[in-house]
């Protein structure tokens, strides 16, 4: 699923392997279906809105990526792609990932491949552009993260090993660091160039009453150590933990990513 940038629409992907899949667009306030997009011949794996909300892209098990007019539902472009799909911050590039262990960058207007495939080496499950679009982070099956230079197509460092499936990744600035949050809610920051952990032991977050996620009490000093120039009161840092962990609590306690802009703002104020 993906929300439009203004939060007014929600796109959902559906289907079963071997059967045609659909993309549906919903009014996020009323819950009314506004569009049904058909054309994929197999299950739809991922959807994403362009940053301006004008376009919607979908990736399918039929090995195609389609770009749609998000208002009319008209298909405007189709090209080869696989698994996860996302737009660059300026909306001019699309990244797709696939079972072949690669991430591929495409021109969003023409569907032309822009660089050689980025070969992570295992099924790439997620990809994230840096704010200035110089770098791309990929997450692969087997719990590894790589950061790529999108001009040269080369990896900046060896794969970053994680100890659990990554739930969320984000660049906290144009030059880093890279934030990873695992399914076990372990929060770590990584240097881009060398892949060195900035907080080697990581920091664990646990849910607690009151719809918040905070560091465990015994990790208080580790948390403060991650923000050595931040002298705000512990209570304020505690409230920011939900931002810096990349999660917020929704509904019955499901964990979902927060707005990346808020993540970066929190980091810039450290």
- The confidence score (pLDDT) of residue 136 equals 92
Q: What is the pLDDT of residues 164-212, one digit of tens each?
A: 776 668 887 888 888 887 766 667 778 888 788 776 555 554 444 333 3
Contact 185, 245 (CB under 8 A): yes
Backbone dihedral angles phi then psi of residue 121, each to the nearest 5 degrees: 110, -5
- The confidence score (pLDDT) of residue 227 equals 34
Q: Look up residue 219 and give its two tokens.
A: 């990790």
Rounded Cα distance, 123 and 138, in Å: 10
- The confidence score (pLDDT) of residue 252 equals 36
Contact 59, 23 (CB under 8 A): no
> Which sign, positive or negative, has the C-alpha torsion 99, 104, 108, 109?
negative
Query: Domains (ranges, CATH) in the chain?
Result: 2-197 (2.130.10.10)
- The confidence score (pLDDT) of residue 123 equals 78
Higher pLDDT, 105 or 256: 105
- The confidence score (pLDDT) of residue 263 equals 60
Q: What is the pLDDT of residues 75-132, one digit of tens each?
A: 999 988 777 788 999 999 999 887 788 899 999 889 898 989 898 878 787 888 998 9
pLDDT over threshold 60, residue 250: no
Cβ burial, residue 84 (10 Å; 0-12/13-18/19+): buried
pTM of the model: 0.73
Contact 116, 153 (CB under 8 A): yes
Rounded Cα distance, 176 and 197, in Å: 12
In the chain, DSSP finds a helix count (H) and a strand count (E) of: 3, 23
């Amino acid at each position: 699923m993906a929300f439009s940038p203004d939060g007014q629409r929600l796109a959902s992907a559906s289907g079963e392997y071997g059967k045609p899949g659909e993309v549906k667009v919903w009014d996020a306030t009323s819950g009314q279906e506004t569009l049904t997009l058909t054309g994929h011949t197999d299950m739809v794996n991922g959807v994403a809105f362009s940053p301006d909300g004008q376009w919607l892209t979908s990736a399918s098990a039929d090995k195609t990526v389609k770009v749609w007019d998000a208002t009319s539902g008209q298909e405007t472009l189709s090209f080869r792609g696989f698994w996860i799909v996302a737009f660059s911050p300026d909306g001019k590039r699309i990244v797709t990932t696939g079972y072949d262990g690669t991430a591929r960058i495409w021109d969003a207007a023409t569907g032309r491949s822009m660089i050689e495939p980025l070969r992570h080496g295992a099924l790439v499950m997620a990809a994230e552009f840096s704010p200035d679009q110089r770098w791309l982070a990929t997450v692969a099956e087997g719990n590894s993260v790589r950061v790529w230079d999108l001009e040269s197509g080369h990896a900046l460092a060896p794969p970053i090993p994680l100890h659990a499936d990554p739930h969320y990744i984000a660049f906290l600035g144009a030059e880093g660091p890279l934030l990873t949050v695992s399914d076990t809610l372990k929060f770590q920051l990584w240097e881009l160039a060398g892949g060195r952990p900035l907080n080697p032991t990581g920091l664990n977050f646990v849910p607690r009453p009151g719809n918040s996620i905070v560091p465990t009490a015994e990790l208080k000093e580790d948390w403060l150590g991650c923000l050595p120039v931040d002298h705000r009161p512990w209570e304020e840092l505690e409230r920011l933990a939900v931002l810096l962990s990349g999660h917020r609590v929704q509904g019955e306690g499901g964990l979902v990513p927060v707005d990346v802009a808020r993540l970066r703002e929190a980091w810039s104020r450290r």
